[in-house]
């Protein structure tokens, strides 16, 4: 071993060894130190660290430490220069070998420490070098030292002598050196029992090849066993590590998969959130747009309402003014007639001259005189010559000759056909003849009371003229026997108890081309057409002034002030037990009914006119102040009291305002549709009533739609399955009576789609052999298919769905294909983006696609999937897309 320590230099001390005794004393001191530390076995309580190649452990604080051993070896080696005796040198070398072996077991050794220390050559010469041999007992004096040829070495005087390096040693010397180390390590293992001294790896293999004593053999065996156990432990650890690694790998894979799924879910959630946000923004924009349109519509509606209210207020004000003026005119005319009567008497007596009168008064006097002469109240010859000459121009006019055509009452006067009321019951056999036509009105006469049953008047407020009402006497109408007309004597009684009240008031008929002549002629014509006995009915003067005249004025001016044209019916009521009063058949009550229309337009689309009906009945013995509302009654009640039928338009219009226990007339008729399944003969009558109502063009369209909706429900597959063939035919024939133009109305789209669904289901059942529709009804079914346009549509339809099964989507598609919609097979696609949507998308630039989308949306709704049509610019022309979800 070199004198250079691990630090690179040897520590010189003044007390170098000079003899074997010094070496032994120092040797024993080191042994004592080592023994005292081994007694407490400090090595067993410290961590082992890998040391030299031949051991895997060392004791990091074992005493004496490596430096102390190096110092000892250096001084002992140099002492060889003063030891001459060969036995002493061998003993000294054995001590060097022992501590050389101990040194390699200490921590902190260097490469120089693994070479055995050689005793320095004796300074006195001799040429021999002692080679130390490890001894089993370091305390004994070795006698079997191996002595070989001395190598050239450092002189005694050199203090930096180095031991021979491994490259300078022979193979046997290297083997011997290794054996010394193994023996020293075996001794340390045996003394301490510390497993860290055991050999491993290549050192164990080389040690197994050495000549072995008992100690080395035991040491090698223990090392081999430890190696095997260690390998097993390493294998177990390796397997454990593999298992742990596999577990961690699985956990990592699971965590990665979970994280990946979480990431995907997050991505999907983010995408959904973005879509939801986009939808929300779109919806918000749509809502904002709708709000804008709604605000505009509300503003327009408000303006329209304000304008309508203003127009109504103006109309009401004008009506009130007109009523006031009319009353004033009537009062003025009454006063004027009295004054004219006095003037006429003075003229007849020659007390005043005609030329002394003002032109207006002169004209009024002449018209009055002409009227009395024409009615034979006075004779022309009774008058003074100047009056006869003045009257000749008026009397020479052909005013008493009827026009070639007496227009009479017009049924189509108010944008609807209002026929003459139909007589029912005993009244139907009481009429004397066809209606008597006059100018702008007609009379229906009754025989039993020699009086008109009712009058029918057309009033045109916009053309009505104010004409002089003459005192012309009442005349018989020569078209009718005198005994079928009111008796003139009723009104010429001395007490003047009964006034000849007019059914058709002169002020109501004073309009039209017949009266577009000079005022005098027009006044005479007016008297001619109204002062006829068939147009009269007896009333007391008090009743006429307080009840009938105010009612006439109210209808003339206050009924539906917005209407220019009004149809007025007036008549009398007799009780079966009524008896004449002093020979005069006085009615028990008087009635009046007015009906008119108000045309309306909504955004350039004409809609059905609104009809207004007012009906009144005043008992003949009514007293007190006039209150029009006191005498108002429903048309149905008036029909019951008069035995008249005013027709469905009037009945149904009034039923909306005055619904009965079963709703409106349409509601009542729609409710009786199910009676088409009855077995009695009433079915034919009901079918006829339904067909008549549906074909009545004057009947309000919304009311007819109620009946059609009930018929469509009756035509459903489930209802038709339970009917006999004859009753199924009743339903189909009644549906065929619906005017085709009604199916095309936009406001009929829901009932139109429901009818398409019902007819398509019936057609499918017939094709499927279920025998719901027989051969006798096949023609009717095919006609309905044509009218309901159940045919192939030109658009291609694609279906996107979510939230329902594919079978459900395909079943819905099959229902649409039965209506002619071109859905490819298969044409359904499940997409997440369809969630929450129920719409039919179309290209807004194609009007045909818009109409088709609205119809398809209605068809889907009728099939149970409520959707709306929505314009989407990216949709191609002739293409529709269904987006549905549950």
> Which stretch of 266-280, 332-346, 524-538 has the lowest confidence by average pLDDT?
332-346
* pLDDT, greater one: 397 or 753: 753
Q: How many angstroms separate the Cα of 850 from the Cα of each of 460, 772, 821, 823, 841?
A: 44, 35, 14, 17, 9
Rounded Cα distance, 669 and 691, in Å: 11
Rounded Cα distance, 822 and 147, in Å: 116
* pLDDT, greater one: 695 or 35: 695
E strands in 678-804: 796-802
What residues pair up with 801 in beta bridges, in sequence order?
830, 884
| Mean pLDDT score, 445-463 | 93
Rounded Cα distance, 357 and 615, in Å: 46
pLDDT tier, 840 (very low <50, low <70, confident <90, very high otherwise): very high
pLDDT for 277 equals: 67
pLDDT for 96 equals: 87
Task: Take residue 394 and report the two structure tokens written for it.
Answer: 């008026």
DSSP, res 475 = B
pLDDT tier, 384 (very low <50, low <70, confident <90, very high otherwise): confident
Q: How many angstroms separate the Cα of 298 from the Cα of each of 182, 284, 603, 677?
A: 111, 20, 14, 47
Domains of the chain, CATH where assigned: 20-211 (no CATH), 405-657 (3.40.570.10), 709-885 (no CATH)
Q: How many CA atoms lie within 13 A of 642 on its CB side?
A: 31
Q: Which residues contact 527 (CB under 8 A, 6 or more apart)?
A: 371, 374, 469, 470, 472, 506
Q: Which residues contact 836 (CB under 8 A, 6 or more apart)?
A: 279, 885
pLDDT for 128 equals: 44
* pLDDT, greater one: 599 or 741: 741
pLDDT for 799 equals: 94
| Mean pLDDT score, 26-30 | 86
What residues pair up with 644 in beta bridges, in sequence order?
423
pLDDT in tens, 188-238: 787 777 777 787 777 777 777 777 677 788 888 888 888 788 778 778 777
Task: Take residue 815 and report the two structure tokens written for it.
Answer: 């229902």
pLDDT for 99 equals: 87
pLDDT for 455 equals: 96
pLDDT for 813 equals: 92
Rounded Cα distance, 15 and 511, in Å: 164
pLDDT for 111 equals: 67
Q: How many CA atoms lie within 13 A of 650 on its CB side?
A: 29
Asked if 756 and 819 touch (Cβ cutoff 8 Å), the reply is yes
Whether 356 shows a pLDDT value over 80: the answer reads no
Task: Take residue 486 and report the two structure tokens written for it.
Answer: 């009111």
pLDDT tier, 820 (very low <50, low <70, confident <90, very high otherwise): very high
Whether 101 shows a pLDDT value over 60: the answer reads yes
pLDDT for 588 equals: 94
Rounded Cα distance, 661 and 391, in Å: 63
Task: Take residue 307 and report the two structure tokens written for it.
Answer: 């304008």
pLDDT for 677 equals: 72
* pLDDT, greater one: 387 or 716: 716
| Mean pLDDT score, 168-176 | 66
Average pLDDT, the chain: 77
pLDDT in tens, 262-320: 777 777 767 766 766 666 566 556 556 655 655 665 566 566 556 656 665 665 566 56
pLDDT tier, 137 (very low <50, low <70, confident <90, very high otherwise): very low
pLDDT for 129 equals: 45
pLDDT in tens, 408-436: 999 999 888 889 999 988 888 888 778 99
pLDDT for 662 equals: 67
pLDDT tier, 753 (very low <50, low <70, confident <90, very high otherwise): very high
Whether 120 shows a pLDDT value over 80: the answer reads yes
Give the N- to C-terminal CA distance of the chain in Å, as an integer: 95
| Mean pLDDT score, 128-152 | 36
Q: CB 11: neighbour CB atoms within 10 A? A: 12
Rounded Cα distance, 41 and 34, in Å: 10
* pLDDT, greater one: 332 or 7: 332
| Mean pLDDT score, 719-740 | 84
Find the length of the chain: 886
Q: CB 733: neighbour CB atoms within 10 A? A: 15
Q: Which residues contact 485 (CB under 8 A, 6 or more apart)?
A: 445, 450, 476, 477, 533, 534
pLDDT tier, 556 (very low <50, low <70, confident <90, very high otherwise): very high
pLDDT tier, 459 (very low <50, low <70, confident <90, very high otherwise): very high
* pLDDT, greater one: 4 or 851: 851
DSSP, res 545 = I
| Mean pLDDT score, 579-586 | 90
pLDDT in tens, 624-681: 899 999 999 999 899 999 999 998 778 877 777 667 666 777 788 888 887 877 656 6
């Amino acid at each position: 071993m070199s004198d250079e320590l691990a630090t690179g230099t040897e520590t010189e001390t003044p007390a170098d060894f000079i003899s074997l005794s010094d070496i032994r004393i120092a040797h024993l001191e080191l042994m004592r130190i080592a023994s005292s530390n081994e007694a407490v076995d400090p090595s067993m309580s410290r961590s082992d660290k890998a040391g030299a190649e031949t051991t895997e452990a060392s004791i990091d604080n074992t005493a004496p430490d490596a430096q102390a051993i190096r110092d000892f070896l250096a001084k002992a080696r140099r002492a060889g220069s003063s030891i001459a005796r060969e036995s002493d040198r061998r003993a000294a070398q054995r001590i060097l070998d022992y501590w050389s072996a101990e040194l390699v077991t200490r921590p902190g050794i260097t490469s120089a420490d693994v070479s055995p220390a050689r005793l320095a050559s004796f300074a006195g010469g001799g040429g021999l070098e002692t080679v130390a041999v490890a001894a089993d007992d370091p305390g004994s004096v070795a006698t079997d030292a191996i002595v070989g040829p001395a190598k050239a070495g450092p002189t005694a005087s050199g203090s930096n002598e180095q031991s021979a390096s491994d490259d300078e040693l022979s193979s046997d010397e290297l083997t011997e050196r290794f054996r010394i180390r193994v023996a020293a390590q075996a001794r340390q293992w045996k003394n301490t029992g510390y497993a860290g001294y055991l050999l491993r790896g290549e050192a164990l293999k080389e040690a197994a090849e050495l000549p072995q004593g008992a100690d080395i053999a035991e040491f090698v065996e223990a090392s081999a066993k430890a190696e095997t156990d260690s390998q097993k432990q390493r294998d177990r650890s390796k397997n454990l590590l593999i298992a742990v690694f596999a577990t961690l790998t699985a956990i990592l894979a699971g965590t990665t998969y979970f994280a990946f799924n979480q990431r995907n879910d997050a991505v999907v959630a983010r995408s959904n959130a973005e879509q939801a946000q986009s939808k929300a923004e779109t919806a918000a924009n749509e809502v904002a747009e709708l709000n804008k349109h709604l605000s505009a519509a509300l503003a327009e509606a408000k303006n329209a309402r304000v304008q309508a209210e203003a127009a109504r207020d103006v109309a009401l004000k004008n009506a009130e003014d007109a009523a006031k003026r009319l009353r004033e005119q009537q009062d003025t005319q009454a006063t004027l007639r009295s004054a004219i009567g006095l003037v006429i008497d003075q003229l007849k007596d020659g007390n005043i001259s005609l030329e002394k009168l003002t032109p207006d008064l002169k004209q009024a006097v002449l018209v009055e005189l002409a009227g009395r002469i024409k009615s034979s109240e006075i004779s022309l010859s009774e008058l003074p010559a100047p009056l006869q000459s003045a009257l000749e121009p008026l009397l020479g006019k052909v005013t008493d000759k009827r026009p070639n055509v007496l227009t009479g009452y017009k049924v189509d006067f108010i944008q609807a056909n209002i026929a003459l009321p139909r007589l029912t019951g005993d009244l139907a056999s009481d009429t004397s003849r066809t209606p008597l036509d006059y100018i702008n009105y007609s009379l229906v006469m009754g025989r039993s009371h020699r009086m008109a049953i009712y009058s029918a008047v057309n009033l045109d407020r916009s053309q009505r003229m104010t004409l002089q009402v003459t005192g012309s006497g009442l005349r018989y109408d020569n078209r009718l026997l005198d005994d079928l007309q009111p008796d003139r004597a009723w009104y010429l009684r001395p007490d003047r108890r009964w006034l000849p009240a007019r059914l058709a008031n002169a002020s109501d008929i004073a309009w039209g081309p017949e009266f577009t002549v000079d005022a005098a002629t027009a006044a005479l014509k007016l008297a001619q057409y109204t002062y006829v006995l068939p147009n009269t009915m007896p009333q007391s003067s008090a009743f006429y002034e307080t009840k009938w005249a105010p009612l006439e004025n109210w209808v003339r001016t206050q009924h539906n002030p917005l209407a220019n044209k009004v149809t007025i019916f007036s008549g009398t009521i007799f009780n079966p037990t009524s008896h004449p009063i002093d020979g005069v058949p006085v009615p028990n009550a008087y009635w009046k009914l007015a009906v008119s229309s108000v045309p309306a337009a909504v955004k350039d689309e004409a809609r059905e006119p609104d009809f207004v009906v007012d009906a009144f009945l005043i008992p003949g013995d009514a007293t007190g102040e006039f209150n029009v509302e006191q005498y108002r009654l429903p048309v149905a009640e008036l029909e019951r009291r008069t035995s008249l039928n005013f027709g469905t338009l009037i009945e149904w219009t009034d039923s909306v305002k005055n619904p009965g226990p079963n709703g409106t007339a349409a509601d009542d008729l729609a409710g009786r549709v199910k009676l088409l399944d009855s077995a009695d003969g009433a079915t034919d009558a009901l079918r006829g009533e339904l067909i008549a109502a549906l074909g009545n063009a004057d009947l309000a369209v919304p009311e007819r739609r109620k009946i059609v909706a009930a018929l469509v429900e009756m035509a459903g597959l489930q209802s038709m399955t339970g009917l006999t063939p004859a009753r199924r035919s009743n339903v189909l024939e009644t549906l065929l009576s619906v005017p085709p133009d009604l199916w095309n109305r936009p406001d009929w789209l829901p009932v139109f789609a429901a009818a398409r669904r019902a007819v398509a289901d019936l057609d499918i059942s017939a094709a499927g052999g279920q025998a719901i529709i027989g051969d006798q009804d096949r023609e009717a079914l095919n006609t309905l298919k044509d009218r309901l346009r159940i045919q192939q549509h030109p658009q291609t339809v694609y279906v996107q769905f979510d939230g329902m099964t594919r079978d459900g989507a395909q079943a819905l598609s099959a229902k649409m294909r039965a209506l002619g919609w071109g859905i490819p097979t298969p044409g359904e696609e499940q997409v997440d983006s369809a969630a929450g949507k129920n719409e039919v998308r179309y290209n807004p630039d194609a009007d045909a696609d818009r109409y088709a989308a609205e119809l398809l949306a209605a068809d889907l709704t009728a099939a149970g999937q409520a959707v709306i049509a929505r314009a989407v610019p990216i949709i191609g022309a002739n293409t529709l897309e269904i987006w549905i979800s549950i």
